[in-house]
A and B are shown apart, each in its own frame.
Chain A
Amino acid sequence: MKSRRRMVLVCSLLAVAIGCALKFGLAPGEPALKSNADSVAAAAGSPTPAVAPSGTMSSNSGPVAQATVDPQVGVVTAVVPNIHSAAEFSALTADVLRALPQLKALQGLNDEAVHNTPDIIREAGVALGQVAQLVHDNPAYEEAGVRFYDECTLQGGGINSIRALCYANLKRLSTKLKLPLEEEKYPADVRRLAAHILDE
C-alpha cells in the first residue's frame, strides 16, 4: 500500500515536467490526482519551446544579401539585401509580402511552440526589419514603403502583431510624407496593438 501510494506520488510529480500521468495513466479511483497532475503539467506547460523553423520566410530570395558590420562593436548586426533601385525594392517587398506567415500557420503549431514568439513570426520580423532598414537608409523608397505597409496592414488572414508593426510604419511614413491616412480603413484591434509602438 505504501509503495503504491509512493508510486502514485512520484508519477503525479513527474507529470509536472514530463507528462508521466499522460504516458502511464493512473489507477482507477485516483482521478483527482491525475487531473491535478495534468493541470500542473498544463499550467507549467510552460515549457517555452521553439520549433525548428518550418516557414518559408526568407527575405533574401530576391537581391543578393549582404552582411553589415558595426565597426564599433565588430559584430555582424544585420543582414540587409543589396538593393540598388526602387524597382528592386518593390520586388523585394512583394516577395516579403507573399512570404509573410498567415493566421492558419499559427494554428498548426504545437501548443508548446507558441509559448514564446514562434519562429515563423521571428523570421517575419527579420524580413520586415530589412525592409525598415532599407526605407530608413534610402528616403527614395519611402513612397513604395507606404504602399507595402498599407498592403501588409490590410492583408486578410494576416497575423495581428505583423499587421500592427506594418500599421505603425504606415502611420509614421504617412505623417512624414504628409499623406492622408484613413485610419478607419484599418482594423481597430490592429490599431490598438500598434499604439504600443507608435510613440517610439
Chain B
Amino acid sequence: MSISKSGLLIVPALLLAFSAPSYAFSKKRTIDGGKLTVAKDVPEKQYKILEADIFYLKSTPITQGDFQLQELLKLNTLSGSTLENWMTERVQYIVSQSFDIQSSLYAKKVGYSFEHAGDDPVVNVPTKNPGQGTNQSGNVVKTIMTNLGGAVYFAGKKLNTLLGVKIPGVGKVILTSPRVGLLQVGEGLFGMPRNMAGTRIDSPAATIFRLGILFHEARHSDGNGKTLGFFHAICPVGHEYEGYGACDRSLNGPYTVGALTTQALAQSCKTCSVAEREALKLVYLDYFNRVILEEKPTAEQVEQKAAPLKAQLEVCKMFASSPGMVFEMCKDVPALQKQLDDIIAGVGMNGSKAVNWDDAPEGHR
C-alpha cells in the first residue's frame, strides 16, 4: 500500500477529527484568565454580559460593605477582587438554558466513596405546584440561574455513583464536589423589568442585580453532610412565600449571601442613581425577608399542647352549675383560661431559631 506524502498528513488529521468531538476545534470561552469557563451553547451576547459583570465585580472598589459580609464570606479583606475570588472558588462552568442534562450525564464510577455518606440534607418538596412551565397568568417561566453541579453531585451521592457531565466546548467534567461549580444560566437572568425599557442591560444596577444572583447560586456549592448544598426550606405558614421552596433556615445561606453582596455592591456603586439604588434595595429586602429567623410552632403543635387544657375547661364548665361536684382542678377557672389563651397565642412556645450552617465544602474539585 502506498500512501502519498500528502496522505500521510491527512490520516492523523482524520483520526483526530473522528476521535474528538466537533467542539474540540473551537476555542474555549473563558472569563478572567480561565477562572470561569463558558460553554459553547451559551449565546455570545450572554457570554459578553457575564464577562463584563465579572470585570465590574473585580474592578469595583467596595467602599460600603460592612463587617457582616466579610465575616459571612470569611474574607480577610473586602474588595471586588476578594469577592470575585470567593465566587470563582464556587463557580467554574457556565452552561446555557438549552443545555440538555439528559444527554450530558454519565456515570464515572459506580460505588464511589463519598464524604459524609448517609448524612444527607433535608430536602423538602414545595407544597405549591412547581414546574408547570408557566405561572398562573400563563406566562412562560424563563430560567434565571441554577446550580446544577450541587444537584447532580447530590443525586450521584444518593446513588453511590460519581457522575460526570459533558459540556459543549469544554469536555468532560467530573462532579467530585459541588465546588466544581456548574451553573446553568437562562434568558431570565438577562431580562429587565417591563417598566425599565430603555435602561441598558449593562448598566451598573443591572450588573449588580445579576451578580447578587451569581453569589446566591455560588453559595449552593458549599456545605457538607446535612448542610450540603445549602438547600432551601419551604417558607412557613404565614410567610408571603408560604409553601414555596424559597426560604432559608440558616443565617448564612444563599439568600443572606445574595442580600449582603447586592447591598454592598449597590452601596459602593458611584454611578447608580437614587432610583436604581432604591430598586436594588427592594431586591435585597426581598432576599432578607426569606431568612426564617425563628420557626413559630405549627398549628398542630399548639393544638397538641392546648388539648388537655381545653378538655379540663370543658369538664369545669359542665359541672359549674352542680354545687355538689367540686373538683380541685376547677378551683381557678380564670387562671386555666388564661393558660389556654397564652398557649394559643404561642406564649412560652419557642420555635427553633436560625443559626449559621457549616459551610465547609464536601469533596474536592
A residues bordering B, Cβ < 8 Å?
9-10, 12-20, 22, 36-54, 57-60, 67-68, 70, 72-73, 75-80, 103, 106-117, 119, 121-133, 136-137, 159-162, 164-165, 168, 193-194, 196-197, 200
Q: What's the Cα separation between A117 and B212 when bound, in Å?
A: 11
Pair A57/B194 contact, Cβ less than 8 Å:
yes
Contacts of B140 in A (CB 8 A): 51-52
Pair A72/B271 contact, Cβ less than 8 Å:
yes
Q: What's the Cα separation between A196 and B220 when bound, in Å?
A: 23
Query: Top 4 closest A-B pairs, CB basis?
Result: A50-B188, A44-B151, A111-B130, A129-B275
Q: Which of A42, A110, A159: most chain B CB closer than 10 A?
A: A110
How many Å from the CB of B229 to the closest CB on chain A? 7
Q: Does B136 contact A (CB under 8 A)?
A: yes
What are the interface flags for B270-302 relative to A under an 8 Å C-beta threshold, 1 for contact and 0 otherwise? 011111111111111111110000000000000
Pair A17/B279 contact, Cβ less than 8 Å:
no
Pair B143/A114 contact, Cβ less than 8 Å:
no
Name the one of A48, A58, A78 contacting B275, with C-beta atoms under 8 angstroms. Answer: A78
Pair B244/A70 contact, Cβ less than 8 Å:
no
A110-B267 CB under 8 A given contacts A12-B155, A13-B152, A13-B159 = no
For the complex with contacts A45-B232, A165-B281, A197-B285, 16 further pairs of A-B residues with Cβ separation under 8 Å are A12-B158, A39-B123, A41-B151, A43-B232, A45-B126, A46-B220, A50-B141, A52-B139, A111-B129, A122-B279, A125-B193, A128-B279, A129-B273, A161-B288, A197-B281, A200-B281
Contacts of A47 in B (CB 8 A): 143-144, 146, 184
Contacts of B147 in A (CB 8 A): 44, 46
Q: What's the Cα separation between A50 and B132 when bound, in Å?
A: 13
Name the one of B132, B196, B198, B200 contacting A110, with C-beta atoms under 8 angstroms. Answer: B132
Contacts of B251 in A (CB 8 A): none
Q: What's the Cα separation between A22 and B129 when bound, in Å?
A: 12
Enumerate 20 A-B pairs (CB-CB under 8 Å) in ascending A order: A10-B105, A12-B158, A22-B131, A50-B191, A51-B140, A54-B137, A75-B202, A77-B272, A78-B273, A78-B275, A79-B197, A106-B240, A111-B246, A117-B286, A128-B278, A129-B278, A130-B275, A161-B286, A161-B289, A200-B267
Q: Does B116 contact A (CB under 8 A)?
A: no
Pair A121/B276 contact, Cβ less than 8 Å:
no
How many Å from the CB of B60 to the closest CB on chain A? 13
Contacts of B113 in A (CB 8 A): none
Pair B131/A112 contact, Cβ less than 8 Å:
yes
Pair A49/B275 contact, Cβ less than 8 Å:
no
B residues bordering A, Cβ < 8 Å?
101-102, 105, 107, 121, 123-126, 128-137, 139-148, 150-152, 154-156, 158-159, 161, 163, 184, 186-189, 191, 193-200, 202-205, 209, 213, 216-217, 220, 229, 231-232, 240-242, 244-246, 258-259, 263, 267, 271-289
Q: What's the Cα separation between A111 and B141 when bound, in Å?
A: 10
Pair A132/B285 contact, Cβ less than 8 Å:
no
Name the one of B163, B194, B229, B287 contacting A117, with C-beta atoms under 8 angstroms. Answer: B287
Q: Which of B145, B197, B263, B279: most chain A CB closer than 10 A?
A: B279
Give the A-B contact count at a CB cut-off of 8 A.
295
Q: What's the Cα separation between A15 and B240 when bound, in Å?
A: 28
Contacts of A43 in B (CB 8 A): 121, 123-124, 151, 154, 229, 231-232, 245
Q: Which of A67, A77, A115, A194: most chain B CB closer than 10 A?
A: A115
Pair A51/B159 contact, Cβ less than 8 Å:
no
Grouping DSSP codes into helix (H, G, I), strand (E, B) and loop, the A interface class, with mixed when no group exceeds half, is: helix
Pair A119/B289 contact, Cβ less than 8 Å:
no
Pair B275/A13 contact, Cβ less than 8 Å:
no
A132-B278 CB under 8 A given contacts A17-B101, A127-B195, A196-B288 = yes
Which residue of chain A has its CB nearest to the CB of B213?
A116
Which residue of chain B has its CB nearest to the CB of A37?
B155
Contacts of B203 in A (CB 8 A): 75-77
Q: What's the Cα separation between A29 and B140 when bound, in Å?
A: 36
Pair A111/B267 contact, Cβ less than 8 Å:
no
Which residue of chain B has its CB nearest to the CB of A137?
B274
Q: What's the Cα separation between A79 and B196 when bound, in Å?
A: 7
Contacts of A48 in B (CB 8 A): 143-146, 188, 213, 216-217
Pair B282/A125 contact, Cβ less than 8 Å:
yes
Which residue of chain B has its CB nearest to the CB of A128?
B278
Name the one of B135, B163, B231 contacting A113, with C-beta atoms under 8 angstroms. Answer: B135
Contacts of B244 in A (CB 8 A): 111, 114
Pair A125/B131 contact, Cβ less than 8 Å:
no
Contacts of A15 in B (CB 8 A): 155
